[in-house]
Structure 1
Amino acid sequence: MVVRALLIIILTGVLFAYDYRLWKSGKRKDRIVYALLTIPAVYLAIIYVTGVDWPNLDDFAELGVGRAAKSIVNAIKLPS
């Protein structure tokens, strides 16, 4: 767990060090979008480091569009 935490700290440190100048000079909308895109990355990093069995992003997508996607697949499925 310590090795995973160090890996995430190093990778996010490099990412934020590189993006800081761009983020600082960016417009307010760009900063908001960057922050919103960072939230899932932080969530997935927590799952990776701790190894907990929390829902992954595909589970959230399944909740949102799962029923509609299954209906579409069943509608176009060829009979066997």
Structure 2
Amino acid sequence: MTEDPATGSATAAMTALRAALRGEGTLHLRVGQGVDMGRASLLLAHAEPRADGVWAGVAGQAVIVMEGTLPAPAIA
């Protein structure tokens, strides 16, 4: 993927989509990112279709460059 280095959210979404389209068994992927920009990363992703949707997980090592909180509005 030519993308920012170690984009876990994009990797999880892409892996879940591929697993849903494939429709059988657990999908395991190794995703490399950031090579073109000199910040290479390797993420290990897996996804599994289930009765209630697709479950996806991502693992790897990264350096945190930014952190924050996004508040959700209260539900009345």
- TM-score, normalising length: structure 1: 0.27
* Larger strand proportion of the pair: 2
State TM-score, norm by structure 2.
0.28
Higher relative contact order (CA 8 A, sep 6+): 1
Which is richer in helix? Answer: 1
Work out which of the two has the higher radius of gyration on C-alpha atoms and give 1 or 2. Answer: 1
